[in-house]
Amino acid sequence: MSGRIASTFARLARERRTALIPYVTGGDPDLDATAHVLDALVEAGADIVELGVPFSDPMADGPVIQAAMNRALAHGVRLADLLEVARAFRERHPDVPLILFGYMNPLHRYGLERAVRDMAAAGVDGLLVVDLPPEEAEELTRHTRPAGLDFIALYTPTSDDDRVRTIAAQGSGFAYCVSMTGVTGGRVSEHDALAARVQAVRRLSGVPAAVGFGVRTPEDAVRVAAIADGVVVGSALVQAMAGRAPVEAPAVAGEFIAAMRQAMDAATR
């Protein structure tokens, strides 16, 4: 586990708080605004930040994030641009973990070994690749491990215990538990079943477990925070910024995440 990710979860565990992990698509509404949005998220209480790498065929994402990726691609945003965003973010926020979220195609185009090397140099802490099955993950993790990057593995509601062990053999940092089948942007699944699955993934993987897909409101965040080590919010945040002028996006993002952070912290007092 990378130093920043490990220390963040360790600190939050001591404080009996749950990590808040927002996702935004890099380059939406534009590249300059993305840097300010990331700052606003940290100031609003984000513990870890996920930065999406635009891709033209984001099959695991729903229409909200697909549209954000299309807008970013229309601006010409590529992985190399986001590495510069990451580098500047690391200078401003030396202790906040930053994860790149995306698909294998942009990594292959850039070159896997080169991509991992440049991510590490830019201060990226982890990589989450939604279309890379665990059976093929060694293709990437043989580069991420020596570079000190975490490979954040995805666990679906249909992953039985044997499957969880297989996925965990490649993953590190934290376990990303998908709350539902299907694409991003749906609703959080039935609470008791999700709680049992999160507990099993945490036990079998040996790393903290965060839940994403379907967290839309502060109330959703509180419910998920009660059963997980981290709460990931993506589509709802991206939707809140959609259609906003670049100058408006940081304030919108900050207010959205601050409401979730306040609700999560209030629930643990």
Dist. CA 21–CA 98, nearest whole Å:
10
Chain CA centroid to CA 6, Å: 15
CATH code of 175's domain: 3.20.20.70
Q: Given this model, what pLDDT does residue 220 score?
A: 94
> What values do phi and psi take at 7, rounded to 5?
-70, -35
pLDDT of the chain, 269 residues: tens digit per residue:
559 999 999 999 999 999 999 999 999 999 999 999 999 999 999 999 999 999 999 888 889 999 999 999 999 999 999 999 999 999 999 999 999 999 999 999 999 999 999 999 999 999 999 999 999 999 999 999 999 999 999 999 888 999 999 999 999 999 999 986 444 444 444 578 899 999 999 999 999 999 998 899 999 999 999 999 999 999 999 999 999 999 999 999 999 999 999 999 999 87
Structure confidence at residue 2 (pLDDT)? 59
Contact predicate 240/30, CB 8 Å: no
Q: What is the pLDDT of residue 190?
A: 57
CA 222 from centroid of its chain's CA atoms: 18
- Tracing tokens 């991003």 back to the chain, one arrives at 184
Burial class of residue 78 (count of CB atoms within 10 Å of its CB; 0-12, 13-18, 19+): middle
Q: pTM, whole model, 2 decimals?
A: 0.94
CA atoms within 13 A on the CB side of 178: 20
Half-sphere exposure of residue 133: CA atoms within 13 angstroms, side-chain side = 4
CA distances (Å), origin 201, targets 48, 110, 124, 229:
20, 32, 25, 11
* DSSP assigned state of 136: G
CA distance 210 to 203: 13
**Omega into 63 within 30° of 0, i.e. cis?**
no
3-state secondary structure of 32: helix
CA Rg, the chain, in Å?
Answer: 17
Tally DSSP H helices, then E strands, for the chain. 12, 9
Q: Which of 28, 61, 125, 229 is catalytic?
A: 61
DSSP H/E element including 21: strand 19-25
Instruction: Report the pLDDT value the prediction gives residue 62, as an integer from 0 to 100.
Output: 87
Please, are residues 267 and 225 in contact by the beta-carbon 8 Å criterion?
yes
| Inter-residue contact 151 to 171 (CB < 8 Å) | yes
Domain boundaries, position 152: 3-267
What residues pair up with 250 in beta bridges, in sequence order? none
- Gap between the Cα atoms of 233 and 139, Å rounded: 28
- Residue 61 is among the residues annotated as catalytic for this protein: yes
Domain count, the chain: 1
Q: Which of 47, 50, 125, 220 is catalytic?
A: 50
- Distance from C-alpha of 210 to C-alpha of 230, rounded to nearest angstrom: 4
Distance CA 164, CA 184 (A): 21
